[in-house]
Every structure is written in C-alpha cells, then in structure tokens.
C-alpha cells in the first residue's frame, strides 16, 4: 500500500512540475512561485514514507513507474531552469539598454538661446 502511495505522490509531483512550467511559459511568474512550496510538501511526504517502508517488498512493482516519473520531473526542472536563464539574460540585456539610454540622455544639453539640442558626447 505504501509503495502505491509513494508512486501516487510522484505522479502528483510530476503534475505540479508540469503546471509550474506552464505558468512560467505563460509568464504567470507569481503563480509559478507558489509551486516550489507545494512540491516540497510532497517531497517531504515521500521521504517520510520512504523512511517507514524500507523493507516493503511491493516497492519493486512500482519502482519502474516511479523512476519514469522522476526522469520526467528532472527533464521539466531542467527546462524550467533553461527558461529562467533565458529570461534573466533578456532582462539583463534590456537593463543594459536602459542604462545606456540613461547615460546618453545625461549627455544631452538643451541650449535655450538657440532652441537647439546638443547631443554631442
């Protein structure tokens, strides 16, 4: 029974990982931030059950299915990590462009007498 429960928990964990990736792709970052806590609760429950059921002989029946879920979760986590790296790079490039524009604007002076704009740096 406990191995069946662990397998079910891994399936739930996979579902949460998929939902988190979907939220990231849809740029619902606040929603995506809620998933690590939910996932941690399930991980803690899995660890507790695993500690109680070390000698469970039915674990072999579910080990392949559990392994498949773990592999999918790791693949999704890697995809999320790559997505976040790309987003961070994009933000970094946009920030750099804003800083360059800000510096450029500081170097511009307005001559009131001739009503001209001096953009020489």
pLDDT tens digit sequence for 3-50: 888 999 999 999 999 999 999 999 999 999 999 999 999 999 999 888
Nearest to 24 by CA among 85, 94, 90, 84: 84
Q: What Å distances lie between residue 62 and 11, 49, 55, CA to CA?
A: 12, 14, 14
Total-model pTM: 0.71
For 38, counting Cβ atoms within 10 Å of its Cβ (0-12 exposed, 13-18 middle, 19+ buried), the class is middle
- SS3 assignment, position 113: coil
Q: Rounded distance, CA 96 to CA 41, Å?
A: 39
Structural domain boundaries in the chain: 2-109
């Amino acid at each position: 029974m406990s191995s069946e429960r662990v397998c079910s928990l891994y399936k739930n964990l996979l579902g949460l990982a998929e939902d988190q990736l979907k939220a990231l792709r849809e740029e619902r970052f606040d929603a995506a931030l809620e998933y690590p806590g939910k996932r941690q609760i399930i991980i803690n429950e899995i660890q507790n059950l695993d500690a109680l059921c070390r000698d469970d002989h039915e674990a072999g029946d579910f080990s392949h299915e559990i392994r498949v879920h773990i592999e999918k979760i790791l693949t999704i986590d890697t995809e999320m990590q790559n997505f976040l790296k790309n987003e961070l790079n994009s933000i970094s490039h946009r920030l750099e462009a804003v800083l360059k524009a800000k510096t450029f604007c500081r170097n511009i002076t307005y001559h009131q007498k001739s009503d001209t704009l001096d953009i020489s740096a």
